Amino acid sequence: MENSCRIAVLVSGRGSNLMAIIDAAERGEIRSKIELVISDNKEAYALTRAKEHGIRTLFIDPKEFKTREDYDRQIVKHLKEHQIELVCLAGYMLLVTPYFVQEYKNRIMNIHPALLPAFPGLDVQRKAIEYGVKVTGCTVHFVDEGCDTGPIIIQRAVPVLEDDTPETLSARILKEEHNIYKEAIRLFEEGRLVVEGRRVRIKSGRNEDLSLKID
């Protein structure tokens, strides 16, 4: 299939962003296919979502490995067996090791519910409200060896309302996460993402370079 790639999604929880990618593929908004869903959590509802859509799933228990790199080597083994070209992290709660990053350099994406580099890590909606920012949002980025530090692909701004709670803000951000994740995948499958240091250039269909803006 032209302009498509074989995707694996790594999950730990309910799989909301996984479902958004599945829906985008089934609607033809992206041409790529999810070949494999891997989880570090046997009870992750994301595995059920994947199975319901006929996607191969795999639970790999981190406790069975001496080191995190050993664990990631097992994941990479399965990725290569399935000829995976793009890895998407969707609520995956483990940091990937430098080994994993190098094996799939600029081919691992993550979605984060804040406008990086502000508020990396966890519980970021609460942090945004407590800090008093007027605008937050979400970011799709390539994964590097740090925590939420990789080159930024797409960002989408979401206003922080006066009466927001972490839950209400999270719900509004999540809608935008679903939109920009599928857009980042589409750009990747079309070969339009060019990483130059910390900058990700977006090539247009007319061989022009576009810079992504915060909407």
Which of the residues are catalytic? 112
63-69: list long-range contacts, CB under 8 Å, 24+ apart.
68/94, 68/95, 68/97, 69/97, 69/99
> Do the beta carbons of residue 184 and residue 195 sit within 8 Å?
no
Phi-psi region of 191 (alpha: psi -120 to 50; beta: other; left: phi over 0): left
Q: How many Å apart are CA 14 and CA 41, to the nearest integer?
A: 10
* Tokens of residue 183, six digits: 């857009």
Q: List beta partners, residue 209.
A: 203
Q: How many Å apart are CA 131 and CA 211, to the nearest integer?
A: 29
